[in-house]
A = this chain, B = another copy of it.
Amino acid sequence: MDSPWDELTLAFSRTSMFPFFDIAHYLVSVMALKRQPGAAAVAWKNPLSSWFTAMLHCFGGGILSCVLLAEPPLRFLAKNTNILLASSIWYIIFFCPCDLVSQGYSFLPVQLLAAGMKEVTRTWKIVGGVTHANSYYKNGWIVMIAIGWARGAGGTVITNFEQLVKGGWKPEADEWLKMSYPAKVTLLGSVIFTFQHMKLLAVSRHNLMFLYTMFLVATKITMMITETATVPFAPFEDTLSRMLFGWQQQFSSCEKKSETKSSFNGTGSSTSKPIAVASDTVKKKHTKKSE
């Protein structure tokens, strides 16, 4: 049982995220915030608001999972050490003279290292979320998936929501309607670790953590190097969605004849589709006009 492979993965699964991996996570998050247009100007005009946004970027996933489980969203503020760490990183990144950090961060190797370490923290968050949710609901495997997902990828939801409240909301930056790659891969990992936690997978957790982390880091780095946003498991998605939801063909085929006998107070989805298109065009026109 204690083969070198097991020893390696076991040691890996016992790695503490604090401080180095956390630092990488904060660095990547705050840099992503700074690269938003106007973030630096806001940091000068109103440092407190910028600091608050940075904290949401760093701890968003934990906040979301706390909200979903009705735990105090301010709990993350009680971890004084992490808060001070993230705050100092925020301060250095935004107010360092001559913008040295951005200069250094703009070199690809640094970005690759930081992004890779951030992906490692994602695994730890998912596992933590799944285990934490299981302590609430014994058999609530849907809850476990949701919490693992929220911890791992909930930051984007929180930050979108915060932008919404701040009035600077861009609906095309919406996470609901089109899942980003991190959201997809985090959902996959959350499902995998939930199944493992419910003893539905014949893999030990530390092995799974090691493999999933390797997968995360590899895909992330390849995506950053090739600068492509192509999801590696797009074909699986297509086949899955075709298996599950692939009725468009038959549907459109019998759309014709259902078009004739249009249903009572004509709002079957047969007619709702053109309506949708219409409304979209209206919206587009509106936005185009408003520029």
Residues of B contacting A265 in the complex (Cβ-Cβ under 8 angstroms): 106
| Copies of this chain, tallied across the complex | 3
Known: A241-B47, A244-B47. A270 touches B102 (CB 8 A): yes
A residues 261-291 touching B (CB-CB < 8 Å):
263-265, 267-270, 272-273, 275-280, 282, 285-286, 289-291
Complexed CA–CA distance, A290 and B286 (Å): 5
Residues of B contacting A106 in the complex (Cβ-Cβ under 8 angstroms): 263-265, 268
Residues of B contacting A97 in the complex (Cβ-Cβ under 8 angstroms): 247, 250-251, 254
Q: Of the 9-residue stretches A6-14, A133-141, A204-212, which lies at the interface with chain B?
A: A133-141
Residues of B contacting A37 in the complex (Cβ-Cβ under 8 angstroms): 267, 272, 275-276, 278-279
Complexed CA–CA distance, A74 and B71 (Å): 12
Contact across chains for B99 and A47 when beta carbons are under 8 A apart: no
Main secondary structure of the interface of A (DSSP, over half): helix
Is A38 interfacial (CB 8 A cutoff)?
A: yes
Known: A40-B276, A74-B143. A103 touches B174 (CB 8 A): no
Complexed CA–CA distance, A145 and B34 (Å): 26
Is A228 interfacial (CB 8 A cutoff)?
A: no
Is A235 interfacial (CB 8 A cutoff)?
A: no
Set B99, B146, B177, B277: member contacting A258, Cβ < 8 A = B99
How many of chain A's residues have a CB under 8 angstroms from any CB in B? 94
Known: A174-B166, A264-B107. A68 touches B78 (CB 8 A): no
Residues of B contacting A141 in the complex (Cβ-Cβ under 8 angstroms): 80
A240 to nearest B CB, angstroms? 10
Contact across chains for A167 and B174 when beta carbons are under 8 A apart: yes
Contact across chains for B73 and A41 when beta carbons are under 8 A apart: no
A residues 239-263 touching B (CB-CB < 8 Å):
241, 244-245, 247-248, 250-251, 254, 258, 263
